[in-house]
A and B are shown apart, each in its own frame.
Chain A
Amino acid sequence: MHQRQDSVIPGGAIEAAVTLSESSEASAAGVTLSESSAASEVEGPSTKSGRAIVITSGKGGVGKTTTTANLGTALACRGASVVLVDADIGLRNLDIVLGLENRVKYHLLDVLEGRVTVEEALVADKRTENLFLLAAAQSREKDEVETFKLSALISRLRERFDYVLIDSPAGIELGFKNAVAGADEAIVVCTPEVAAVRDVDRVVGLLGNRFRPRLVINRLRPQLVKKGKMLSVDDVNGILRLPLLGVIADEPEIIVTTNRGEPLALRTVTPTGAAYHAIAARVAGEDVPAPIPPAAKGSFFERLGSLLGGGR
């Protein structure tokens, strides 16, 4: 707690809080952004036109939060300023994945209801520079968020950050609608399962063309695909037909890093870490070659063969 105070809001941030002159709409919505020193640490001039991207999926448990944390980390590693907004009110998770659960003091609803300023509620990531978290309220409910206030907050954040990544809750009800309201782009996360693809299809239908949804296929098991026991990338996207941002294999190291609260994207040497960085590059608009589905490791004899044959 004390540590957080030091690292995020330098003393006197509350006194230093000044409502920005052009923030009439935001203050009407109960949102005030302060010109505190924390803010100038976040970004100097506050007139960016950052991108607000919602990460959603319909179905729960497909890896929205993991994708948000890793994409945010990878984008920040590229030098962009990034804020991650956990819009899953009542089920706060993003702080855990980032390992920031002990630093969260205020949450999204504190900001929306005007109890604290945005800067007070933003938590700086402990590993990655320029990466910030706005945590969800844990003991509140999704319908307590007023959509227009959240939208106003997202547009204020876009003026300060290059990327505002919104981690949407599962489902297609109010929580989803709130998460989507302030965004102008969407990334949908899908696993190679019938239920997940069906839900993504539904979500994409709800999103319409405005959000230009792009796809991340998560938890692919190349070995199973090779044996014809799992839907392949082509199977999934043959149905969804979305621009493919990347494919993430189902690797034990994702569980290990989540246990530790450190996003895998920090480890660029691992194939999965590299895959997240490739997604970040694509999001940033870099002309990266098309995503290659992770290859199945060969059988023991195949590996032995390639070892003897000079590792083709």
Chain B
Amino acid sequence: MIEFLKRLFGQAGSSATAKERLRLVLMTDHLELAPDMIETMKLELVDVISRYVEVDRERIDVSFERQDRTLAMLANIPILSVNRPNGNGAHAGEAKPAEAKAVAAKPPTRKRRRRRKTQVPATVSAR
């Protein structure tokens, strides 16, 4: 029905599609990285971050945004819990999953439970 109405009142213009395709294609052009490399980078980035905090791997969102003539990488990484500094620091998240669990098993306050979103803007050279 909605499709029919869209067709009746002039469908959402193809210029929007063109614009979005252009945006995406230029993004990768400027990165000069293949899409699978971006994926690898994302995974490695998450590995590093999860040494310090427990993150929700399923809901990680990495995107790129053009700001004037530079490109910014925006990573949206939901944090499930923060590892304690005495919890053997650097490798808590990855190497010692049991310990990470112990942290999560503590009676969580509401605040801690709430998913915190962090934006990690990192500038990647445009060309």
Contact = CB atoms under 8 A, between A and B. Distances in A.
A5 B53 CA distance: 82
B44 interface: no
A78 to B, nearest CB: 33
Given A198-B26, A227-B10, A205 B127 contact: yes
Contact of A198 (B19, B29, B66, B68): B29
Nearest to B12: A228
Interface in B66-87: 66, 68-69
A232 B22 CA distance: 13
B15 A235 contact: yes
B15 A198 contact: no
A235 B13 contact: no
Given A194-B22, A239-B22, A230 B29 contact: no
A173 to B, nearest CB: 18
B15 A228 contact: yes
Contacts of A230: 15, 18
Contacts of B18: 193-194, 230-231, 235
B20 to A, nearest CB: 10
Interface size class of A (residues with CB under 8 A): 10 to 19
B15 A225 contact: yes
Nearest to A196: B22
Contacts of B112: none
A239 B22 CA distance: 9
Interface in A192-234: 193-194, 197-198, 201-202, 205, 224-225, 227-232
A222 B13 CA distance: 14
B16 interface: yes
Interface residues of B, number: 18
A225 B19 CA distance: 12
Main secondary structure of the interface of B (DSSP, over half): helix
A231 B19 contact: yes
Contact of A228 (B10, B25, B66, B69): B10
B13 A194 contact: no
Interface in B3-45: 10, 12-16, 18-19, 21-23, 25-26, 29
A150 B12 CA distance: 49
Interface in B84-127: 127
Contacts of B12: 228
Contacts of B68: 241
A197 B83 CA distance: 47
Contacts of A205: 127
Contacts of B23: 239
Given A227-B10, A228-B12, A230-B15, A202 B22 contact: no
Given A205-B127, A241-B68, A241-B69, A198 B14 contact: no
A197 B13 contact: no
A218 to B, nearest CB: 16
B13 A201 contact: no
Contacts of B21: 194
Contacts of B127: 205
A242 B27 CA distance: 18
Interface in A230-252: 230-232, 235, 239, 241
Contacts of A229: 13-15
15 contacts: A194-B25, A197-B22, A197-B26, A198-B25, A201-B29, A202-B29, A224-B15, A227-B13, A228-B10, A228-B12, A228-B13, A228-B16, A229-B15, A230-B15, A239-B66
Closest 5 CB pairs of A and B: A228-B13, A205-B127, A194-B22, A229-B13, A228-B15
Interface of B: 10, 12-16, 18-19, 21-23, 25-26, 29, 66, 68-69, 127
Interface of A: 193-194, 197-198, 201-202, 205, 224-225, 227-232, 235, 239, 241
